[in-house]
Amino acid sequence: MKYDKIFYQRLFPTGPYSNEKLGIELIIEPGETAEQGLTAAKMIIEKWHRDHHPELYVDHPAPEIQPEKSQAPDKRTNSLIDDIRSCKELKVLESYRILAKTKPEFQAAYDEMIEKLTPKQ
């Protein structure tokens, strides 16, 4: 098969609902492969777009935003401890068994209630 021309086209987003379609046709020189021609065409199109729309290219990563620590986890922790301590039946308390293993505070409340609700022999 004989190749003598390469056509490369690419659609670049330039904004919300906005695009720019660029294309180039190159003639393959003797001794040049189709792959070399495609690579050259792609590089030309991408360089042109970068040179004419530098605002669309970010050469450095955006700064990492650190989330603020909220007080919500303390409220949730206290609320769960209150829930454990409000259990009136051993069967209900057993539903907190796995949760109790996740934090020492939960385990302490769970152990306290197990002792309180377990019948003494």
Judgement on whether residues 17 and 47 belong to the same structural domain of the protein: yes
Count of the separate structural domains present in the chain: 2
The domain in which residue 25 lies consists of 5-56
Dihedral (C-alpha) 104, 106, 112, 117: value to the nearest 10 degrees? -150
Judgement on whether residues 49 and 24 belong to the same structural domain of the protein: yes
Judgement on whether residues 78 and 46 belong to the same structural domain of the protein: no
Give the pTM.
0.46
73: pLDDT strictly greater than 70: no
77: pLDDT strictly greater than 80: yes
Judgement on whether residues 52 and 85 belong to the same structural domain of the protein: no
Note whether residue 39 is domain-resident: yes
Note whether residue 66 is domain-resident: no
Note whether residue 33 is domain-resident: yes
Burial class (CB in 10 A: 0-12, 13-18, 19+), 42: middle
Q: How confident is the model at residue 55 (pLDDT cuts 50, 70, 90)?
A: confident
